[in-house]
């Protein structure tokens, strides 16, 4: 019985980590994960923070990926090479471990290439 509880606790610590759900339906321009045909465009990177309290049982604070993308790239023709990554730096790692995992902090990085609008004639 005790080993089952330890295994369950370890599973909770490892499964409640690095996934940030997002919906890009409201973004006013096309967003593609594949690189553009010429791989041009202006690179951008936006950072946000993701925090979970008691493994998500008492809530979580996560960045709105669609709003951040719209704010940083609008106006543009499209976004290519779109990526969302979740990682933990030293500060996040330290807070997570000092609180025994009851407060989990991650850094969310949204990156890609902003394709310029066609020139007006």
| Residue range 23-75, pLDDT digits in tens | 888 888 888 888 866 667 889 999 998 888 887 778 888 888 888 988 988 88
Cβ-based burial of 119 (10 A; exposed 0-12, middle 13-18, buried ≥19): exposed
120 falls within a domain: no
Flag whether pLDDT at 13 surpasses 90.
no
Do the domain assignments include residue 7? yes
Q: Give strand ranges (E) for the chain.
A: 42-53, 60-61, 78-87, 103-115
Q: What's the pLDDT tens digit per position in 92-119?
A: 999 988 998 899 889 999 999 998 887 7
Which pLDDT score is estimated for 22? 83
What is the predicted pLDDT for the residue at 7?
Answer: 57
Q: Which domain holds residue 55?
A: 2-115
Global pTM value: 0.73
**Structurally, how many domains does the chain consist of?**
1
121 in any annotated domain? no
Rounded to an integer, what distance in angstroms lies between the CA atom of residue 60 and that of residue 54? 9
Asked whether the predicted pLDDT for residue 14 surpasses 80, the reply is: no
80 pLDDT more than 80:
yes
């Amino acid at each position: 019985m005790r080993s089952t509880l330890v295994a369950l606790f370890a599973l909770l610590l490892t499964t409640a980590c690095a996934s940030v759900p997002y919906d890009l339906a409201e973004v006013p321009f096309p967003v593609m994960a594949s690189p553009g045909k010429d791989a041009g465009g202006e690179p951008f990177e936006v950072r946000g923070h993701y925090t979970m309290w008691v493994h998500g049982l008492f809530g979580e604070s996560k960045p709105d990926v669609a709003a951040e993308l719209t704010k940083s790239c609008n106006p543009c023709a499209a976004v290519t090479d779109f990526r969302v990554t979740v990682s933990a730096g030293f500060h996040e790692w330290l807070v997570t471990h000092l609180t025994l995992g009851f407060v989990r902090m991650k850094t969310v990085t949204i990156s890609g290439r902003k394709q310029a609008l066609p020139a007006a004639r």
